[in-house]
């Protein structure tokens, strides 16, 4: 009985508020005649019609492709630069103000700049995503590499763990909590840049499609696009959470055991 009760409560906690919000939307959209807020029915039917069509190939997949390439590029570049900068103090001192400046540039303003170099094709969008998302990965990696425990580093040296093995066995795992935190920040920046770069200059993609709908006053379709972006963000965040718990399970355990000791 108690199990049932607890289960019911958990269910209520999980779905209660979302259901209430949806009901509210349903209620108000049905009563208001505002053109801008279509009913849920309309949005959902538009969702099916709009996205389960040739748009998957024309808009959704290109967007996802740009996002994937750009994001992975940013992660690889960010970790590489971060490890380099993190392990060379002089280099870091030389580049710190420069990097501080580049990091502070709001990434979307790079879109017009990069358009000069590579037009409005995929390569521009991918470059925008890389250039904009590389910073959190890089800076977090630098912090992670700098914070490597010196006893651990000495241990590795004593046992001849140097060069590539040191990178793989010591530096990357030791910095992984910070790297993953940076990757999480980079993921949301990547999505934003994917959408913005498509909104600003494109002939395909999610951002492009949504702006098209808005300009042609296809309101339910526009909402369905917003919904799709929301679902995409949510799904990627979920996926990332899975990756995180796999990669960092040792870190969570370590932290819990340290907390227990205090």
Partner 1 sequence: MTLQPRRAGPPPAPHPRSRTRTGALPEPLLGLLGLVLLAGVLEVLPRTGVVSADYLPPFSEIADALVGVAGEESFWQALLDTAEGWGYGLAIAVGVGTGLGLLIGSVEVLRRATASTIEFLRPIPSVALVPLAVLVYGTGLESTLLLVVYAAVWPVLLQMLAGVRDVDPVARDTAASYRFTRWARLRHVTWPTALPYLMTGVRLSASVALILAISSQLIIGSPGIGKEIALAQSSNAVEEMYALVIVTGALGVCVNVAARALERRVLAWHTSVRTEAVT
Partner 2 sequence: MTSTDVKSAVRADSGLLDVRGVQKTYYGSGRTVEAVRDLTFSVGTGELACIVGPSGAGKTTLLKCIAGLLPPTGGEVRLGGARVQGPPPGMAVVFQEYGRSLFPWMTVADNIALPLKQKRTPKPRRAALVAEALESVGLRDVPHAYPWQLSGGMQQRVAIARAIAYEPDVLLMDEPFAAVDAQTRAELEDLTRSLWRNLGMTVLFVTHDIDEAVYLGQRVLVLSGSPTVVMEDVAVDLPAEREQLSTRALPRFAELRAHVYEQVQRAKTFHTAPAAGASA
Least Å from the CB of residue 156 to partner 2: 8
Q: Please tell me whether residue 39 binds partner 1 under the rule CB under 8 A.
A: no
Cβ neighbours of residue 111 under 8 Å, at least 6 residues apart?
Answer: 124, 128, 196, 197, 200, 201
CA distances (Å), origin 31, targets 17, 154, 219: 21, 70, 17
Residue 78 or residue 107: which is nearer to partner 1 going by CB? 107
Residue 250 contact partner, candidates partner 2, partner 1, none, CB within 5 to 8 A by sort of partner: partner 2
Q: Which residue has the tokens 């995409």?
A: 232
List the structure tokens of 39. Answer: 């009913």
Other CB atoms within a 10 A radius of the CB of residue 102 amount to 15
Least Å from the CB of residue 154 to partner 1: 9
> What is the x/- site pattern for partner 2, positions 113-152, by CB under 8 A?
------------------------------------x-xx
| Piece of 25-33, 41-49, 159-167, 229-237 that binds partner 1 (CB under 8 A) | 229-237
Residue 106 or residue 160: which is nearer to partner 1 going by CB? 106
* Rounded (5°) CA angle 238-241-247: 150
Residue 147 contact partner, candidates partner 2, partner 1, none, CB within 5 to 8 A by sort of partner: partner 1
Residue 1 or residue 164: which is nearer to partner 2 going by CB? 164
Q: Which of residues 58-87 bind partner 2 (CB under 8 A)?
A: none
d(CA 90, CA 51): 52
Least Å from the CB of residue 56 to partner 1: 18
Q: Please tell me whether residue 251 binds partner 2 under the rule CB under 8 A.
A: yes
Least Å from the CB of residue 155 to partner 1: 12
Q: Which of residues 167-186 bind partner 2 (CB under 8 A)?
A: 169-170, 173-174, 176
3-state secondary structure 37-82: CCCHHHHHHHHHHHHCCCHHHHHHHHHHHHHHHHHHHHHHHHHHHH
Taking CB under 8 A as the criterion, the residue among 148, 161, 172, 247 binding partner 1 is 148
Helix (H) or strand (E) holding 111: helix 110-118
**Contact between 206 and 60 (Cβ < 8 Å):** yes
Least Å from the CB of residue 68 to partner 1: 16
Q: Which residue has the tokens 């093995």?
A: 165
Taking CB under 8 A as the criterion, the residue among 161, 181, 226, 229 binding partner 2 is 161
Q: Which residue has the tokens 């199990």?
A: 3
d(CA 38, CA 220): 6
Q: Which of residues 162-191 bind partner 1 (CB under 8 A)?
A: 181, 188, 191
Binding site for partner 2 (CB under 8 A): 149, 151-152, 154-155, 157-161, 165, 169-170, 173-174, 176, 250-251, 253-254, 257-258
């Amino acid at each position: 009985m108690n199990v049932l009760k607890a289960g019911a409560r958990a269910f209520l906690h999980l779905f209660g508020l979302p259901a209430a919000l949806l009901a509210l939307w349903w209620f108000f959209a049905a009563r208001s005649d505002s053109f801008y807020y279509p009913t849920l029915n309309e949005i959902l039917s538009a969702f099916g019609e709009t996205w389960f069509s040739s748009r998957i190939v024309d808009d959704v997949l290109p967007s996802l492709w740009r996002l994937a390439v750009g994001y992975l590029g940013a992660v690889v570049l960010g970790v590489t630069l971060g490890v380099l900068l993190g392990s060379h103090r002089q280099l870091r001192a030389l580049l710190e103000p420069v990097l501080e400046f580049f990091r502070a540039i709001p990434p979307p303003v790079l879109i017009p700049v990069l358009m000069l170099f590579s037009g409005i094709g995929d390569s521009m969008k991918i470059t925008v995503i890389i250039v904009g998302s590389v910073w959190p990965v890089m800076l977090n990696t630098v912090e992670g590499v700098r914070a490597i425990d010196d006893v651990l580093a000495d241990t590795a040296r004593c046992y001849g763990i140097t060069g590539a093995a040191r990178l793989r066995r010591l530096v990357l795992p030791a910095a992984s909590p910070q790297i993953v935190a940076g990757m999480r920040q980079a993921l949301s920046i990547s999505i934003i840049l994917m959408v913005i770069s498509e909104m600003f200059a494109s002939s395909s993609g999610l951002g492009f499609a949504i702006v098209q709908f808005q300009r042609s006053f296809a309101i339910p379709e526009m909402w369905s696009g917003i919904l799709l972006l929301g679902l995409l963000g949510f799904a990627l965040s979920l996926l990332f959470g899975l990756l995180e718990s796999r990669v960092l399970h040792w870190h969570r355990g370590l932290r819990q055991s340290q907390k227990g000791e205090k």
